[in-house]
Amino acid sequence: MAENEEKTVCKASIEMLKKAEAEGMDTAFQRVEQQKGCAFGEAGSCCRLCNMGPCRINPKKPDESRGVCGANIDTIVARNFARMVAGGTSAHSDHGRAVAETLILAAKGEAKDYEIKDRIKLLEVAADLGVEIGEREINDIALEVGERCLAMFGQQEGELAFALRAPEPRKEIWRDLRVFPRGIDREVVELMHRTNIGVDQDYENILMACARCALADGWGGSMVGTELQDILFGTPVPLESKINLGVLKEDEVNIVVHGHEPILSEMIVLAASLPEMQEKAKQVGAKGINLAGICCTANEILTRHGIPIAGNVLQQELALLTGAVEAMVVDVQCIYQGIGQIASCIHTDIITTSPKAKMPYARHIEFHEDRALDIAKEIVSAAIENFPKRGKVSIPDVRESLIAGFNHEYINYMLGGKFRASYRPLNDGVIDGRIRGVVGVVGCNNPRVTHDDIHVRVTKELVANGCLVVMTGCAAQSVAKTGLMLPEVARKICPQGLWEICEAVGIPPVLHCGSCVDNSRILIACTAMVHEGGLGDDISELPVAGCAPEWMSEKAISIGEYFVASGVYTVFGVKWPTLGSKNVTEFLFQKYGELFKNTWDFEPDPEKMVGKILSHIDNKREALGISAKRERVLFDMAMRRELEV
């Protein structure tokens, strides 16, 4: 059995894992050791799409067998990959749909607790969608924007409106390849249909449909989610907060919100701040109410309100083991069933809120937008009532500061100022070599690799080699825990050109850009770099890359797929789900390069991953005629120690 120090590099998590061991509690870190996996499943060569199966093809002898229906290994592997894309797209997009529905209710006055917080963004989105502005009331405009966005889900033909924001050459590629996304739901349904038994049996055709579906996520469902959340809850601006289990408080009622949709968490933030709720907490002996987040919902309320983060996805069970959480309030996605079992042994209430996501050992308080604040108050009250039932508490004294809340709008503003907002300084920094390239490091944690370790190593090496790093999701939280999201680290770790820019603008070299759906912000930022000029005519020409070093969710595959189809070279770590088929893997890793001008890649070793990203960026710089020869900075132990927190 692995030592706790091999399971995670996060000190707070190590402390909690020791506690779990001492108390005989089970977490993902232990369960992963019992689940050894299956070679066929890992290769993507196991099919259970119909009741004649399951059928398994040995990837070492792919020509020796076929499925009962005659499916070969290429078809099976491609179909499994496609279903991951469809699953990921559906999750992001259903989230986006919920936000569109809330905006419509708010605009009609039927969700009285929500209001339009960012009117400028509403007008910008309205203009992009061709919604008339004129002298109309703000709620009329919001209603039409919400309805137009909602209609994107059921759209049957034509081109998704937000995808029209992409650079012209990119749109031409999509049109030529016939992968321009039509409607969001249509692409998901079609991909699920194609991968039924006896439908699409041409792996290349399936993989092209994957691109179309994923584009409906990045430039559709996820973008609807991000844009409308900004309109409803405000576009984030940089603010300071704290992260790690040490943000929980021994003398306050701790409520942890976990999941993805800020429709719920925004109301919990409001309810917890009400004087009546604070007073209620005092009546049960607590000093107040302390709200913290886990996973992406944490990123949403961090970037809009500065609410601290208790941890990333692999810390959800560990947060409960502190014994200090009165309620963990969950909605959808990335919520481990294991939290229910832990909660059943302690005083914590797991409160499910979505009719789409119920779980054993949980209490269900269903959330409805038309009574949002009242329901949020009910949830906060339930947590307060739990406070006197607390047993022994042990909160790791580990927390770190971070600055979060960067996005396309703020980059524009911070570089160009209010009156000449522009990407010009960013593009100039890239062109003159002070910024070598821009890399998105995104995705989940996965207990199959040491928790947080690869995120941190990859990110440190990228910034040490002159790259500006933009992060989302749980990856962002891994790195924030090490203090890398503070402006003062720039001079310590970055080459001179990059730290000069960071200091001049007052930013860290690693920018926290939000949650999983906010990867759509990175698409917009890439498009803005193209439009600014000097770095080519298409996203594929930019010296940029993406990676997900510790990914686990289908959503990560969908994100990677839309990044690649949008022209961004993207490397994933841990394991790669198509290795059972040489043809499928080559299509994604090579043929996509001819078609989409950049490819997927797989590299579990963090140093090699950074090497691949840097050589890709340098090749792009050379193609643009802006290359400058430079040595790779390898991160040695002394440098690692210097940045230890």
Residues near ligand MSK (CB under 6 A): 260, 295-296, 313, 333-334, 443-444, 473-474, 515-516, 553, 555
Parallel/antiparallel/unpaired status of strands 239-243 and 325-330: unpaired
Smallest distance from ligand MSK to CB 443, Å: 5
User: In this complex, which beta carbon is closest to ligand MSK, that of residue 493 or of residue 557?
Assistant: 557
Q: What type of residue sits at position 82?
A: A
Q: Does 193 bind ligand SF4 (CB under 6 A)?
A: no
Q: Which residues pair with 81 in a beta bridge?
A: none
User: In this complex, which beta carbon is closest to ligand MSK, that of residue 194 or of residue 258?
Assistant: 258
User: Which two three-digit tokens encode residue 84?
Assistant: 């991951």
CA angle, 420 then 498 then 234, to 5°: 45
Tell me if 544 sits within 8 A of 526, measured CB to CB: yes
User: In this complex, which beta carbon is closest to ligand SF4, that of residue 54 or of residue 169?
Assistant: 54
Q: What type of residue sits at position 12?
A: A
Smallest distance from ligand MSK to CB 510, Å: 16
Q: Where are the beta strands (DSSP E) in 48-203?
A: 55-56
User: Which two three-digit tokens encode residue 166?
Assistant: 């992409």
User: In this complex, which beta carbon is closest to ligand SF4, that of residue 197 or of residue 359?
Assistant: 197
Residue ranges of alpha helices (H) inside 286-347 are 295-305, 316-321, 338-343
**Residues 332/228/417/527 CA torsion (nearest 10 deg):** 80
User: Which two three-digit tokens encode residue 17?
Assistant: 């894992």
Residue 444 interacts with which of ligand SF4, ligand MSK, none, CB < 5 to 8 Å by class: ligand MSK
Smallest distance from ligand SF4 to CB 77, Å: 11
Residue 226 interacts with which of ligand MSK, ligand SF4, none, CB < 5 to 8 Å by class: none
Residue 513 interacts with which of ligand MSK, ligand SF4, none, CB < 5 to 8 Å by class: none
Residue 148 interacts with which of ligand MSK, ligand SF4, none, CB < 5 to 8 Å by class: none
Compute the distance between CA of residue 596 and CA of residue 527 in angstroms, rounded to an integer: 15
Compute the distance between CA of residue 466 and CA of residue 494 in angstroms, rounded to an integer: 6
User: In this complex, which beta carbon is closest to ligand MSK, that of residue 557 or of residue 617?
Assistant: 557
The helix (H) or strand (E) run that includes residue 293 is: strand 289-294
The helix (H) or strand (E) run that includes residue 600 is: strand 600-602
Using CB under 6 A, which residues numbered 197 to 216 contact ligand SF4? 197
Number of residues lying near ligand SF4 (CB under 6 A): 14
Residue 342 interacts with which of ligand MSK, ligand SF4, none, CB < 5 to 8 Å by class: none
Residue 553 interacts with which of ligand MSK, ligand SF4, none, CB < 5 to 8 Å by class: ligand MSK
Residue 549 interacts with which of ligand SF4, ligand MSK, none, CB < 5 to 8 Å by class: none
3-state SS record for 341-373: HHHCCCCCEEEECECCECCCCCEECCCCHHHHH
Smallest distance from ligand MSK to CB 234, Å: 20
Instruction: Tell which residue, 332, 339, 333, 299, has the closest CA to residue 315.
Output: 339
Q: Does 49 bind ligand SF4 (CB under 6 A)?
A: yes
* Binding flags for ligand SF4, 50-89, as an x/- string (CB under 6 A): x-xxxx-----------xxx-x----x-------------
Compute the distance between CA of residue 528 and CA of residue 438 in angstroms, rounded to an integer: 13
Tell me if 183 sits within 8 A of 216, measured CB to CB: yes
Residue 443 interacts with which of ligand MSK, ligand SF4, none, CB < 5 to 8 Å by class: ligand MSK
Of 9, 28, 47, 313, which one interacts with ligand SF4 (CB under 6 A)? 47
Instruction: Tell which residue, 366, 311, 367, has the closest CA to residue 339.
Output: 311
The helix (H) or strand (E) run that includes residue 258 is: strand 253-258
User: In this complex, which beta carbon is closest to ligand MSK, that of residue 43 or of residue 474?
Assistant: 474
Residue 343 interacts with which of ligand MSK, ligand SF4, none, CB < 5 to 8 Å by class: none
Residue 296 interacts with which of ligand MSK, ligand SF4, none, CB < 5 to 8 Å by class: ligand MSK
Q: Does 623 bind ligand SF4 (CB under 6 A)?
A: no
Smallest distance from ligand SF4 to CB 38, Å: 15
Residue 555 interacts with which of ligand SF4, ligand MSK, none, CB < 5 to 8 Å by class: ligand MSK
Residue 449 phi, psi (nearest 5) = -130, 165
The 10 Å Cβ neighbour count of residue 279 is 11
What are the residues whose beta carbons fall under 8 Å from the beta carbon of 485, sequence distance 6 or more?
Answer: 402, 403, 404, 476, 479, 508, 510, 511, 512
Residue 68 interacts with which of ligand SF4, ligand MSK, none, CB < 5 to 8 Å by class: ligand SF4
Task: Compute the 3-state secondary structure of the chain and give helix, strand, coil in percent, each to the nearest 5.
Answer: 55, 10, 35
Smallest distance from ligand MSK to CB 451, Å: 12
User: In this complex, which beta carbon is closest to ligand MSK, that of residue 415 or of residue 516?
Assistant: 516
User: In this complex, which beta carbon is closest to ligand MSK, that of residue 352 or of residue 540?
Assistant: 352
User: Which two three-digit tokens encode residue 57?
Assistant: 């093809």
User: In this complex, which beta carbon is closest to ligand MSK, that of residue 462 or of residue 557?
Assistant: 557
Tell me if 314 sits within 8 A of 447, measured CB to CB: yes
Residue 119 interacts with which of ligand SF4, ligand MSK, none, CB < 5 to 8 Å by class: none
Residue 512 phi, psi (nearest 5) = -80, 115
Map residue 441 onto helix, strand or coil: strand
User: In this complex, which beta carbon is closest to ligand MSK, that of residue 476 or of residue 528?
Assistant: 476
User: Which two three-digit tokens encode residue 381?
Assistant: 């009250």
Smallest distance from ligand SF4 to CB 556, Å: 25
User: In this complex, which beta carbon is closest to ligand MSK, that of residue 221 or of residue 473?
Assistant: 473
Specify the stretch interacting with ligand SF4 by CB under 6 A; choose among 47-55, 234-242, 315-323, 555-563: 47-55
Instruction: Give me Rg for the CA atoms of the chain.
Output: 24
Provide the binding-site residues for ligand SF4, judged by CB under 6 A.
47-50, 52-55, 67-69, 71, 76, 197
